[in-house]
Structures are given as C-alpha cells and as structure tokens.
Structure 1
C-alpha cells in the first residue's frame, strides 16, 4: 500500500508539472481570464489545489480542524495575487513536505479525521494520499477544460502517460 500511495503522489507532482509546463506556453493573461467554470480563473483553481494539498498534509499530521482552518486561511492571504510560476514553487515546497512525511510514516496506519458536520473517520494515510491525488486530477481536468474554452490545448496528464514516461 505504501508503495502505491507514494507512486500515486509522484504522479500528482508529475501531473501538476505537466500543467505548469503547458501554462508557460500560453499568454500569461489566459491564467487570469474569467470563465464560467468551477473556479473563475485558472490561477484561482491552482490556488485552491495548493490550499487543499496543505489542508490534507496538516490533517495527516494530526492538526485539528480548527487549526487547519487558521493555517490555511493565512495561506490563502499569502497566495492572493500569486501567478502560476509562484504557485508552482508552492507545489514544489508542499511536495517536499509530503515526501518528508511519507519517509517518517507508516502509510498503512490509520489515523482519525474529524469534521464538525460529518463526524470522525479512521482511515489509512494511504487513502488520504489517494484523495489528494484524486482531488488534483479533478482540478487539472478543470484547467484543461478552461484552456480549451479559451482556445488553447490542455495538458496531457493522464496516469497512463506517467506510467509510460517513467517506464513503470
């Protein structure tokens, strides 16, 4: 399980990088152009993805729901006005923190996650990693759709491309 979770997270980092590579190829104003979608701009989508990665790393480290909210609230303010390249740096930094956590943690072990409205669940860390990757995949798809709506090609970031590129 741990090996699968780490591989899926490596895919998450790889796929994010593919999106950033694609965004470097389009005019910068495309990332700020408002469009009817899940989030109003590509940049806002990236900010949400980065905040959510932080949420789940903090949760896996045992932070309370309330503390996660405070920390991520402050992060939201820091991300305001950041463009794709600055956000890319944020993804690199959180990626290193995830890898450090993986190195020190039995990802098959269960941990509690408490939400004020939904209660408490006890699931393996590996399943939270899978959720992080799945969440990122959803929003990378949003970004590709947004790019297409704005007249640009999306980024190819399917898991199978990762497997072939990494020769796994």
Structure 2
C-alpha cells in the first residue's frame, strides 16, 4: 500500500490525466480559447499549474531560493503555446521527477523550514507542502471545468473518491 502522501500525489497525477484525456476529445481550439475567468484560457491555467509543480518540487527538494527563482521564467516559457498533448508530456515529466523525489524521501513527514522573501519563514513538513501541491491542482482543475462549461462543454469528474474507487477496482 502506498503511504498517504504518495497516494495523494498519485491521485493528483490521475486527476490531471483524466482532464488531459477529456481535453484531447474536445475541439483543439477549446484549449487556447479566451474566457473570462481566473486565467484567460485553459492552456494558461495549465501553464500556471506546471510552473508551480516545478517550483514546489524544487522547494521539497530543498533547493535554495537563489537556485529556484532564476528558473521561474524558464518554467513559464516551457508551457507557453503548447498543445494539449505537449502539455500532457510536460506534466508527465514533472510527475516522474516528483515520484523520484518521493522515492528518495524516506520520511514524508520530515520537518522543513521554508524561507520566502515576501511572506517570511514557514515551519512545516514535507507532507504538508505535498498536500498543498495536490490542493493547488484541485483548485485549478475546478477552474478548468468552469472554463469548459463557459465554452459549452462538460467537465470530467476528478474527485479523490473516484480515484480511490478506480484504484480499488483495478486491484480486484
């Protein structure tokens, strides 16, 4: 059985994959269509999610801010103008990097201190930041669903419960 933080991360990957599979079935212009929402398009929402996946992975790997912050523009650029399939491949790559980090982290509840130049110091745990990554993804998948509905398309269920049911059925 997966440890709980790892299972939550696998849910996050599954939920993103569910949404990518759904998007691949819709007209191509839906991904880049401008809408009035938190972000101007579905693709820009995924670009934001990708940037923060990379950022939080670096935080969890305990890279110093001086190493992380200069990379942010490059991560943002990597996700610009991508197709659904190209974006899916970016997410698959970062998921493998996250899984590698999880394998190399024997104690997912280890204490961490994060220093942010604007928001200050946070004493937390690896698992707490990983939970934030999952919550961040859930929030923005909800944004994408609203954007799809604005364009006349249904969303796709990505609830944690559906992941657990699918996983259980796969083990039978």
Instruction: Determine if the TM-score, normalized by the shorter chain, exceeds 0.5.
Output: yes
Q: Using structure 2 for the length normalisation, give the TM-score.
A: 0.93
Per-residue displacement from partner, 1:23-76 (whole Å, max 9, x unpaired)?
A: 011100011110000100000001111111100000111122242221121121
2:47 pairs with 1:54: no
Q: Note the 1:1-20 alignment, pairs <5 A.
A: 3-20=3-20
Q: Note the 1:28-43 alignment, pairs <5 A.
A: 28-43=28-43
Q: CA RMSD in A?
A: 1.3
Counterpart position of 1:69? 69
Report if the CA contact (8 A) 2:50-2:79 is conserved: no
Question: In structure 2, what is the Cα distance between the partners aligned to 1:63 and 1:17?
Answer: 28
Question: In structure 2, what is the Cα distance between the partners aligned to 1:122 and 1:56?
Answer: 15
Number of aligned positions between the proteins: 167
2:90 pairs with 1:90: yes
Report if the CA contact (8 A) 1:46-1:84 is conserved: no
Q: Using structure 1 for the length normalisation, give the TM-score.
A: 0.95
Question: In structure 2, what is the Cα distance between the partners aligned to 1:98 and 1:158?
Answer: 21
Q: Which runs of 4+ in 1 moved over 4 A?
A: none
Question: In structure 1, what is the Cα distance between the partners aligned to 2:44 and 2:65?
Answer: 23
Counterpart position of 1:148? 149
Report if the CA contact (8 A) 1:31-1:42 is conserved: yes
User: Residue 167 of structure 1: SS of its match in structure 2?
Assistant: helix
